[in-house]
Amino acid sequence: MPGVPRSHAAAAPRCPRATRRSHGIRADGDAQTADVYDPGDVRRCIGPTQHREPGVQRLLLLLVLLLQLLMVTPVIQASGEQNSRGGSLTVRNQDEERARRTSHELQAEGIPNCEESPTPTLEEVNAWAQSFDKLMLTPAGRNAFREFLRTEFSEENMLFWMACEELKQESNKSVIEEKARLIYEDYISILSPKEVSLDSRVREVINRNMLEPSQHTFDDAQLQIYTLMHRDSYPRFMNSAIYKDLLRSLSEKSIEA
């Protein structure tokens, strides 16, 4: 400066430098940091305090503190979001694990045993091709059809129909109520893996009937599933390898005899 010795020249105030400070550990294990300003550096940057109004000093310090708060807040928010995502992932993983465990348990239970029946005759197997009613009248026919439904992952339709037939044979009120409850849980509930396909009207009828279960609680639903198997699955069964192989085997035995 002109007229002022170099040794007496006022040193230029040093601007504040941000330092990195840790604010905890994130969900991924890394440290959370944010830029923080040293108040001493801020005062040096402002310059000699005796030449500034106290109100101006306070305003500048307040601005610096506000700047620090704005820089720290996003770090805290990001940490909260990561923790929230981590919690959601944990819950989702637990749900997937439960689903896998439930599926494994169902597979471990195995497929219910088929009805006991003698080997069908050639005449009986030929009769199955005449009508769906004749197929469903014999245990051998139901077993063969059920084996086919299993390959199409729709065996629950036959199981439901058979459970309804068993319910109709009961006369004890407590047994009827218990069997009706099991049928509902196994084949009507939307939470069941063996739920059958029913329209809303039939479901409403079932829900009303379940208030006082009887042998005929599921009659409408049984008829709808019977019709579904007749129109949808029965034609494919008649053209399936299961039916054709059985028919050919019985025909060969008949010729040999």
Residues across the chain: 257
The pLDDT value given to residue 74: 58
Contact assessment for residue 23 and residue 75, using Cβ atoms and an 8 Å cutoff: yes
Rounded to whole angstroms, how far apart are CA atoms 32 and 26?
A: 6
> What is the DSSP pairing of strand 18-25 with strand 31-37?
antiparallel
Contact assessment for residue 206 and residue 221, using Cβ atoms and an 8 Å cutoff: yes
DSSP three-state, residue 253: helix
The pLDDT value given to residue 111: 46
pLDDT digits (tens, 9 = 90+) for 210-256: 999 999 999 999 999 999 999 999 999 999 999 999 999 999 988 87
Q: What angle do CA 51, 55, 58 make, to 5 degrees?
A: 100
pLDDT digits (tens, 9 = 90+) for 90-119: 545 555 555 444 433 433 344 456 677 788
The pLDDT value given to residue 117: 73
Residue 61 identity (one-letter amino acid): L
User: What are φ and ψ of residue 190, in 5° steps?
Assistant: -70, -10
The pLDDT value given to residue 101: 44
In DSSP terms, 35 is beta-bridged to 20
In DSSP terms, 151 is beta-bridged to none
The pLDDT value given to residue 64: 78
The pLDDT value given to residue 256: 79
Q: What is the DSSP letter of 52?
A: S
Rounded to whole angstroms, how far apart are CA atoms 157 and 155?
A: 5
Residue that the structure tokens 């749900």 belong to:
95
Q: What is the pTM of this model?
A: 0.57
The tens place of each residue's pLDDT in the chain, 257 residues long, gives 455 455 444 455 555 555 555 555 554 555 555 555 555 555 555 555 445 566 777 788 788 777 777 775 555 565 555 555 555 445 455 555 554 444 334 333 444 566 777 889 999 999 999 999 999 999 999 999 999 999 999 999 999 999 999 999 999 999 999 999 999 999 999 999 999 999 999 999 999 999 999 999 999 999 999 999 999 999 999 999 999 999 999 999 888 76
User: What are φ and ψ of residue 18, in 5° steps?
Assistant: -75, 140
